[in-house]
Amino acid sequence: MNKTLLLFIVDFLFLNLIALTRWERAEPARPRQPPVNQISANAVSKEQDLVEAMRQSLADEQLARQALEQKLASADSTLSAREKSVAELQSESQKLTVQLVDTQKAQADLNMRYQAEARDAALTRSQLAQLQRALEDKAAESERQKQALAALERQQAEARKQIEGLQIDVAVGQREKQQLAAQASELQVQVQSERAERLKVEQATNQLAQGVGQLAENSGELTKEIRDNRPMTINVLYNDFLGNRVETTFSATKKGLFGNTVRELSPKTVFTTDGKQVYALLEVEDTPFSLREIGADWESIGVRFSRPPDYRSSGSQIEFLEADPRVVVVPVSAQQVAALGAKVYPLAQDPFRFTEAVLISGGGNGYGELGFKLDPKHPGYVRVDNRFFKRLFGDFAPSRGDLVFSKSGELLGIMVTSDYCVLLHDFTPTVTFAAGGDKPTAHTGAILDGLSARVLQMPAELQ
């Protein structure tokens, strides 16, 4: 039995014993002194009082004994209940003791199993890592399969849609097939009638073939005429002009007071042709020569064409035109044109086809659209209408050296004043200077003075 429980029971019984004991009855009786002799008259009275007191005391004793017996009976019943409870507690304690022993045995078994499991866990840790990696691979494979399954489902949905569309197409095709069958029967009837008409058509075709041959001969001329009569936009003309300019360098050397004087200019120009020869077209002020100053005898003259990055070629001569000595051209060979890769502008065959022309500044800084008209007092020249000049790009006014093009892209001429443009029909020269070589050019001063005098003899509005 558990010691703590046994001490508790002993303390409980000891306290009950103390509580139920009547300590006043256990006190020993005191010795009585013999009564003193009194008067005989009072002797009977004292005995009666004593007897009565004893009787009363006996009755009280009986009552107290009855109460004590009741308390004892109650204490016995309480004690028996306590003893029963103690017995039950002892029985329960024994069961708990047995369970404790069993628990201790189970704990020992669990410790042994834990140690065994720990050893097994240490042995299978590598296997667990392998299993975890395998599980991750399985998870990745599962995710890939899910994605593949989703893609397959989408494909199936699209396939179902396509099947539905094909079913509709099949139904439509069947209806069309029925319609075609009906039409085929009708066509068979028509074929027979058309065979009869074919003979008539063949006869008409032979007649048309002869007409087509004549039409083919005229189509080339018609195409050329349409192209020539179709105006180009001035933006296209200007962009074409910028992309086909060629850098031309003039150099001239003469003797001066302090040695040789070299004058060099590098304008950009375009190529033009009369159908026979290609020329570089410039105004005299773009060259080392000038008709506004006293002519000088230039000992050597050079003309060079260049194209990036390293192409260089030379011109053999410089020509002043008969139409106007202020217009200068330099003959260019076909090889030079091909190497420079520049467009060659033809001269206008019909200058007055359009009522307006396109003027582009010689330096390429601007362009615009303007009207022009013939001046009967000055044949070979046209007067531009500056009042209605439509400047589309750049801030400039018409001046000497500006080029004038027709709206078909052909070259009309070059401005010799701010109001007049000389029309170029050909490139007949009035004076020619040799360029390049070691042989000096003779008497250029007198030639330039003669050209200047010719310009001064023109009407004032053409100067």
The pLDDT tens digits for 401-429 are 999 999 888 999 999 998 899 999 999 99
Q: Worst-scoring range by mean pLDDT, 12-26, 44-58, 165-179, 417-431?
A: 12-26
- What pairing do the DSSP bridges indicate for beta strands 268-273 and 344-346? parallel
250, 265 contact by CB (below 8 A): yes
The pLDDT tens digits for 129-152 are 887 888 888 888 888 888 888 888
pLDDT at site 41: 47
**What is the mean predicted confidence (pLDDT) over 293-302?**
86
pLDDT at site 248: 93
Under 8 Å CB-to-CB from 368, ≥6 apart: which residues?
A: 234, 358, 359, 389, 390, 391, 392, 393
AA identity, residue 173: G
**Tokens encoding 309:** 């990055």
Query: 101 falls in which pLDDT band (50, 70, 90)?
Result: confident
Compute the distance between CA of residue 453 and CA of residue 326 in angstroms, rounded to an integer. 12
pLDDT at site 246: 93
Of these ranges, 39-43, 219-223, 394-398, the one predicted with the greatest mean pLDDT is 394-398
Query: 344 falls in which pLDDT band (50, 70, 90)?
Result: very high
Query: 53 falls in which pLDDT band (50, 70, 90)?
Result: confident
- Residue 451 pLDDT > 90: yes
pLDDT at site 1: 57
Give the residue carrying structure tokens 């009638």: 193
Residue 390's closest CA among 374, 375, 372, 408? 372
Instruction: Tell me the three state secondary structure of residue 267.
Output: coil
Q: Round the average pLDDT of the chain to a whole number and report it.
A: 81
pLDDT at site 44: 52
The pLDDT tens digits for 20-37 are 766 555 555 555 555 555
Q: Worst-scoring range by mean pLDDT, 79-83, 180-184, 442-446?
A: 79-83
The model's pTM is 0.51
CB atoms within 10 A of CB 84: 10
